[in-house]
Structure 1
Amino acid sequence: MDINHRIARRVRDLRDAQGLSLDALAERSGVSRSNISLIERAQSSPTAVVLDKLAAGLGVTVASLFEPEATPWEPSPMARVADQPVWTDPASGYIRRNVSPPARSPIQLVDVIFPAGQRIAYDSPARETDIHQQVWMIDGVMEMSVGDDHWRLETGDCLAMRLDRPIVYLNPTRSPARYLVALVTLPYVTPRRMG
C-alpha cells in the first residue's frame, strides 16, 4: 500500500473510531478541515508537523499513523525490513521507518535519517495521552530543544522526554544524522488537586 494511502486510512479509521467529525478533529489538532479531508483521501502528502498535530488531536503517536489496518487475526510479532513502512517528510526530507511489528505492543520503534542542516519544530496542542520518548543517536549529531531545555546529542547519546512540550530537532552539521526513537504510550492520569 502506498504510504499516503496508509496514512489516509489510519487517520480516517482513528477519527471514526473516536466518533470525531472532520470539524472536531480540526479543532482538536489545529489542522484545517480541508487539509484533513485531503489527507484522508490521500490527495495530500502531510508534513511531519501536520502529522504530529493530527496524532496529538487523535491521542496517538505519529508512529501509530503508519500502522497497518486492523485484521480479524492476530498480527505477526515479526516485522521484516521489506514490510516496514518508510515515509519521507516533504518539507525537510527526513526519512522515518517504522521498525515495530504490527503486533500490539506498548513500545514503538522508529528509525530516522535526518538530513544535514535541517530543522523541524513541533508545537503540538495538548495531548490527552501520556507519551514518553527516547532518542538514541546511532550516527551523527542532533541539537534538541524540549521546552526551555537544550541538548546536543552525539553518537551513542540517548535523551528521554515526555511529549508534553514543544520540541525542536536540528541537525547543525553537513552530514545526515541517524537516530532511533522509542515511544511508549501510558494511560493519561489527570493530576489531583490538593485541598
Structure 2
Amino acid sequence: MVDNAEKKLLVDAGKRIRETRSAQGLSLEQLARLTGISAPALSLIETGKRDPRLTTLKRIADALRVSLTTLIANGSDVVEPSPSSSTGGYDLGEYH
C-alpha cells in the first residue's frame, strides 16, 4: 500500500518526466521507442499511477539525456544529517 508521501514522490517524479519529455518535443510513443517501455506504461509512470523500478527510471533518464537525479530529486526534500545528533544512530531493537 502506498502512503501519501510515497504517492507524492511518484506524482512529482512523473511530472518531472512529463515536463522533460515535453520540453524536448518528444511524444509518449517516441519515448517508448527510445526506452523500450510501452507508451501506456510510460503514461502510468508520468501520472504517478505506477511505481517504476529504479532500472526503469534509469532507462527513461538515459533516453531523455538527463541524470537520474533530475527525475527523482527534489531539492527541498534533501535533508542534511545533524552533526549534533545525540542518538548515535537508529534504534532497530524492534526489528528481528
Q: State the TM-score, normalized to the length of structure 1.
A: 0.35
1:6 and 2:12 correspond: yes
Q: Following the alignment from structure 1 to structure 2, what is the Cα–Cα distance between the partners of residues 84 and 31?
A: 29
Aligned with residue 84 of structure 1, among 75, 78, 93: 78
Partners of 1:63 and 1:39 lie apart in 2 by 16
Higher relative contact order (CA 8 A, sep 6+): 2
Matches within 5 A, 1:25-44: 25-44=31-50
Q: Any stretches of 5+ residues in structure 2 without a counterpart?
A: 81-96
Provide the C-alpha distance between the structure 2 equivalents of 1:23 and 1:9, rounded to a whole number of angstroms: 17
Aligned to 2:28: 22
- Identity of counterpart residues, as a percentage? 32
Residues 40-93 of structure 1 deviation map (CA, whole Å, 9 limit, x = unaligned): 11100000111011001100111110244xxxxxxxxxx67xx228xxxxxxxx
Distance in 2 (alpha carbons) for counterparts of 1:52 and 1:66: 10
**How many Å separate the matches in 1 of 2:78 and 2:41?**
26
Give secondary structure in 1 for the equivalent of 2:29. Answer: helix
**CA distance in 2 between partners of 1:4 and 1:37 (Å):** 12
Q: For the residues of structure 2 that align with 1:6 and 1:42, how far apart are their CA atoms?
A: 8
In 2, the alpha carbon distance for the partners of 1:59 and 1:35 equals 20
Shift of 1:18: 0.2
**4+ residue segments displaced more than 2 Å:** none
Contact 1:10 1:67 in 2 (8 A): no
**Structural mapping, 1:33-112, within 5 Å:** 33-68=39-74, 83-84=77-78
Deviation at 1:17, TM superposition (A): 0.2
CA distance in 2, matches of 1:61, 1:33: 21
- AA at the equivalent of 1:35: A
Q: Which runs of 5+ in 1 are unaligned?
A: 69-78, 86-98, 100-195
- Please give the TM-score of this superposition, normalised by the length of structure 2: 0.69
> Aligned Cα RMSD in Å?
2.1
- Amino acid in structure 2 at the alignment position of 1:51: L
* Distance (whole Å) between structure 2 residues aligned to residue 84 and residue 29 of structure 1: 28
